[in-house]
Amino acid sequence: MRIRADFDQPVWVRPGDYRWVDSPMPGVQRMMLDRVGDEVARATSLVRYQPGATFSRHTHGGGEEIFVLEGAFGDEHGVYPAGSYLRNPIGSAHTPRVGPEGALIWVKLHQFAADDQAQFVVNDARPGVLHQHDSDSACETVSLIDLDGLLAVDPQGDEVLVLSGVLDWNGEHFEAGSWLRLPRGTRAHFSGEPGTRVLRKTGHL
């Protein structure tokens, strides 16, 4: 399966574009943002858990990165409310489950550098750098940004999830829930009205 798999082209998804598909587990649905592979894949997705839903225990063969957007996500290690950021490195494992309010999460799979072994949770994440990892070719950075004005697109590639407000890029407007991925070499700026907050990844494309 290949979904928005040309990483040399700008791509985006707005909430009106969402198409939810059932996962192998009852009560768990995915909105696939990008994907290279089938059930085990390099993937970026929104995942929606209905109240009380669970997912079978699994090992993260390529790492797992999560930001909790709504509700409270959990596993045998704890409960992570909206605004939490999690990193589960290559070789880690867990059994996801949610409580009576359900959960909506943004998740990236199979995208960790082999030597990035940091495993941690940031509950109630505040604006700033959430994670940074240097490799031979780039510095991967994950940030939460309150944007009121201009922000230069990273020349090494940029990925943004709009959490609140409205983000503008290249004459396009992206409301909360929108996701953008811009390739290396993109020369432009983001801009945001007051109250615009984004989750941003750079140095990973």
Q: Using the 3D structure, point to which of 102, 122, 142 is the last residue of a domain.
A: 122
Q: Which two tokens stand for residue 75?
A: 């596993």
Task: Quote the CA–CA distance of 110 and 62 in Å, as a whole number.
Answer: 4
Computed over its alpha carbons, how large is the radius of gyration of the chain? 16
Indicate whether 181 and 107 sit together in one domain: no
pLDDT, greater one: 41 or 54: 54
Query: What region, left, alpha or beta, does residue 169 occupy, with left being phi > 0 and alpha being psi -120 to 50 degrees?
Result: beta
Q: Which two tokens stand for residue 180?
A: 């953008």
Q: Which two tokens stand for residue 153?
A: 């697109």
Task: Quote the CA–CA distance of 146 and 3 in Å, as a whole number.
Answer: 29
Indicate whether 36 and 95 sit together in one domain: yes
pLDDT recorded at residue 58: 84
List, as one string, the DSSP characters of 126-161.
-SEEEEEEE-SS-EEEEEEEEEEEEEEPPTT-EEEE
Indicate whether 118 and 139 sit together in one domain: no
Task: Quote the CA–CA distance of 174 and 104 in Å, as a whole number.
Answer: 19
Q: Which two tokens stand for residue 189?
A: 């700026």
pLDDT digits (tens, 9 = 90+) for 104-161: 999 999 999 889 998 999 999 999 999 999 877 679 999 999 998 999 999 999 999 9
Sign of CA dihedral 86, 89, 92, 93: positive
CATH number of the domain residue 28 falls in? 2.60.120.10
pLDDT recorded at residue 136: 72
pLDDT recorded at residue 130: 97
The boundaries of the domain holding residue 27 are 2-9+18-122
Q: Which two tokens stand for residue 109?
A: 């799979």
Indicate whether 116 and 162 sit together in one domain: no
In DSSP terms, 137 is beta-bridged to: none
pLDDT digits (tens, 9 = 90+) for 63-112: 999 999 999 999 999 999 999 999 999 999 999 999 999 999 999 999 99
Task: Quote the CA–CA distance of 158 and 174 in Å, as a whole number.
Answer: 15
Band (pLDDT 50/70/90 cuts) for residue 60 is confident
Q: How many domains does the chain have?
A: 2
